[in-house]
A and B are shown apart, each in its own frame.
Chain A
Amino acid sequence: MLEIGSLVDGKYKILNKVGQGGMSVVYLAMNEKANKQWAVKEVRKDGVLDFESVKQGLVAETDILKKLNHPNLPSIIDVIDTDESFIIIMDYIQGNSLNNALEEFGAQPQENVIEWAKQLCDVLGYLHSRQPAIIYRDMKPANIMLKPDGNVTLIDFGTAREFKEKNLADTTCLGTVGYAAPEQFGGMGQTDARTDIYCLGATLYHLVTGMNPCEPPYEIKPIREINPALSSGLERIIQKCTQRDPNDRYQSAAELMYALEHYNEIDDIYRKKQKNKLVKFLIPTILTFVFAGVSIWGYMSAENKKKENYDYILANASKESDYYEAIVTDPTRTDAYLGTDDHEGLIKFLINDGELTSEENGTLSKLRGGLDDINLSGYSTTVKVLDELEKADKKGYSRVCYEIGEAYLFYYNVSVEKDKYAAAATWFQYAEADYPIAKMYCDISTCLQNIAKYSKAGQLAKLNEEYGNLWEQITSLNDNALNNFSNDTEGLDLKLRVWNEIINMIRNNAKELCEVSSQNKVLNLINGISDNSSKITNAFLQESINSLKSNIDETVKKVNSIKKREG
Chain B
Amino acid sequence: MNFIVSGNTDIGLTKSTNQDSLSIKVINTKQGRMVLAVLCDGMGGLDKGEVASASVIRAFDNWAKNDLPALCEAPIEDPIIRSQWENIITEQNNKIKAYGGGLGIKLGTTVTAMLLTQTRYYIINVGDTRAYELYNGIRQITNDQTFVAREVALGNMTEEQALTDERRSVLLQCVGASDEVYPDMFFGDIKENAVYMLCCDGFRHEISPEEIYERFHPDKLLDEHKMNQASLELIELNKQRQERDNITVALIRTF
Contact = CB atoms under 8 A, between A and B. Distances in A.
Nearest to B180: A215
B172 interface: yes
Nearest to A99: B179
A379 interface: no
Interface in B167-190: 167, 169-174, 177-180, 182
Contacts of A219: 154
Interface stretch (A169-177, A409-417, A522-530, A549-557): A169-177
B166 to A, nearest CB: 4
B7 interface: no
Interface in A1-57: 20-25, 47, 49
B173 A175 contact: yes
Contacts of A212: 179-180
Given A168-B167, A185-B166, A215-B178, A22 B173 contact: no
Which size class do A's interface residues fall under? 20 to 34
Contact of B165 (A22, A25, A187): A187
A214 interface: yes
B174 A173 contact: yes
Contacts, number: 89
B62 to A, nearest CB: 24
Contacts of B201: 171
Interface stretch (B25-33, B68-76, B84-92, B98-106): B98-106
Interface in B121-176: 127-128, 147, 150, 154, 156, 165-167, 169-174
B182 A215 contact: yes
Consensus secondary structure, chain A interface:
loop
B50 interface: no
Contacts of B167: 168, 185-187
A49 B147 contact: no
B235 interface: no
A216 interface: yes
Contact of B177 (A22, A176, A186): A176
B169 A218 contact: no
A22 B173 CA distance: 18
B104 A173 contact: no
Contacts of B127: 173
B170 A168 contact: yes
Interface string A165-207: 0001111111111000000011100000000000000000000
A521 interface: no
Given A22-B105, A215-B180, A174 B172 contact: yes
A185 B168 CA distance: 10
A244 interface: yes
Given A47-B104, A171-B201, A173-B178, A218 B172 contact: yes
A22 B169 contact: no
7 contacts: A22-B105, A168-B170, A172-B170, A187-B165, A215-B173, A215-B179, A215-B182
Going nearest first, the 5 A-B pairs with the smallest beta carbon separation are A175-B178, A185-B167, A187-B166, A173-B174, A173-B177
Given A175-B174, A186-B167, 19 more contacts: A47-B103, A168-B166, A169-B244, A170-B169, A171-B201, A171-B245, A172-B43, A172-B170, A173-B43, A173-B127, A173-B171, A174-B170, A174-B173, A176-B177, A185-B166, A186-B166, A187-B167, A212-B179, A214-B173
